[in-house]
Amino acid sequence: MFEEVPTHRIKIDKSFIDGLPVDHENAGIVRAIIALCKSLNIRVIAEGVEHADQLRFLINEKCDEIQGFYFSKPLPLYEVRDLIDRKMKLALPSRIE
């Protein structure tokens, strides 16, 4: 039945991310979701990441995509482009020798 619904990505709700990594129940649920999705070749997105310890937990668990206020508040497309442009300018050396 699961294969009847074409699923390429699963999003983990913020309510499961809240309290990570110290909330052991949510941590177990998130680990299980990520492991199940990996075994089915489904990408995992975690939403609502607000703290560095949540980010570290999700990176350690091999979460594919992470979003939340830790990175930025929701932005309109034109502001996203400006943000990316600014970040790229900071990341690139000013001159190449």
Averages of pLDDT over runs of 10 residues in the chain (97 residues) are 75 97 97 97 97 97 96 89 80 55
Residue 87 included in any domain: no
Amino acid identity, position 21: P
Residue 19 lies in a domain: yes
What one-letter code names the amino acid at 35? A
Task: Provide the residue range defining the domain that includes 12.
Answer: 2-72
- Count of structural domains within the chain: 1
In a domain, 93, yes or no: no
- Is residue 29, in this structure, part of any structural domain at all? yes
Please give the full DSSP string across 66-92, using - where no structure is assigned. Answer: E-STTT-----HHHHHHHHHHHHHHHS
Whole-model pTM: value is: 0.78
Residue 77 within any structural domain of the chain: no
Give the length of the chain.
97
Residue 76, pLDDT score: 92
In a domain, residue 60? The reply is yes
Q: What is the pLDDT of residue 67?
A: 95
Kindly tell me the burial class for residue 47, based on how many C-beta atoms sit within 10 Å of its own C-beta (0-12, 13-18, 19 or more): middle
- Classify residue 85: in a domain, yes or no: no
